[in-house]
Structure 1
Amino acid sequence: MSTDRTPTAADNGFSYTLTRTLDAPVSRVWQAWTTPDQYAQWAYAVPGSVEMDVRPGGAWKATVRTPEGAEFPLTGSYTEVTEPRHLTIGMDVPGRPDPTTMTLDLTEQGPRNTVITLRQTCATAEERDGAEQGSGMLLDGLTGFLAAGPRG
């Protein structure tokens, strides 16, 4: 398992790309990312707080708990859904009129491996660094969840 980081300055903001190879088939990774009870197990979500309507225009929400115990409610919507390979997720940012967008792409690499690529463009370098750190934590949680084997 490795994570490649590629921060770049885009014309309209500050972007990053994280790529990791996961030891699981695409269908399992997709389920982990799009099923509320599975997502809650690895994404630092408060139990019972995750709701997902995984379709273009569908809403999602979750309350994330930091290792220090602080809780942050997150909301947004799905703008693109191509099961089981691609999600474009809008994330609401307090004080900002438009959501920030994250894309997730899953690429099969043999029957048991999936390459996951997360991309996001942010307004500032500071926002990008925080979002990149959070996305890295998500990938760590997902990697651990998938290594533990199938769960309900």
Structure 2
Amino acid sequence: MTEKQFTIVRELDAPRETVWRAWTDPAIAAQWWHPHGLVTPRDSVHVDLREGGSYAYTMVEEATGDSWPTGGTYLEVREPERLRFTWGNPGDAEGEAPVLTVELRELEGGRTEMIFHVLGIDEDRASEQSVFQGWTEAFEELDDALVAAR
């Protein structure tokens, strides 16, 4: 049986250290830790960046005000190249939470290759409400946040 998983690879027009900060600095994370149509209030983002540390944030739908608390535990922190952490509703059992891995590789010209892997959720490109689609939209928001972070 194949485990549920998917990978998204993106080339980003920013140095690896800037992309790392986008994943770990609450002020930058608040700008993009959400798909289109949602926002992440800056005061909802908390990061304890260490193995065993936790992070949390809340996504809010702009149109309705509905909110989704999200968070997890850092399993691996290797600055500036790799983050591995659980992800989901903070009330979920840790053993059930998907595990996300972010690998950052330096490219020529001050660019970064980001390899984003999700273990525990199937790739579903057909549904507009899928986790795959949500992260794809969040990475479009990341592109804008990286421009602002320079």
> What's the TM-score once normalised by structure 2's chain length?
0.82
C-alpha deviation, 1:122, in angstroms: 2.6
Q: Which runs of 4+ in 1 moved over 3 A?
A: 66-69, 92-97, 123-126
Aligned residue for 2:145, secondary structure, equals helix
Is 1:134 the equivalent of 2:124? Answer: no
Equivalent position of 1:117 in the other structure: 115
Counterpart amino acid of residue 11 in structure 1 = T
Greater relative CO (CA pairs within 8 A, separation 6+): 2
Distance between the aligned counterparts of 1:41 and 1:49, measured in 2?
Answer: 12
Given residue 117 of structure 1, which amino acid in structure 2 is its aligned partner?
A: I
What per-residue deviation string (whole Å, max 9, x for no partner) do you get for residues 4-56 of structure 1?
A: xxxxxx722x2111011000000000011100111112223122000001111
Are residues 1:70 and 2:66 paired? yes
| SS of residue in 1 equivalent to 2:133 | helix
- The amino acid of 1:61's aligned partner reads A
Q: Number of aligned residue pairs: give it.
A: 139
Q: Cα 1:124–1:51, aligned 2, differ >3 Å: closer, same or farther?
A: same
| CA distance, structure 2, for counterparts of residue 116 and residue 63 of structure 1 | 24
TM-score (norm 1): 0.81
Q: Which runs of 5+ in 2 are unaligned?
A: 34-38
In 1, the alpha carbon distance for the partners of 2:100 and 2:134 equals 12
Do residues 82 (structure 1) and 78 (structure 2) align? yes
* Residue pair 1:15, 1:121 contacting (<8 A) in 2 also: yes
RMSD: 2.2
> What SS does the corresponding residue of 1:134 show, helix, strand or coil?
helix
Cα distance change on mapping 1:125 and 1:38 into 2, 3 Å: closer
- Between the two proteins, what is the percent identity of the paired residues? 29
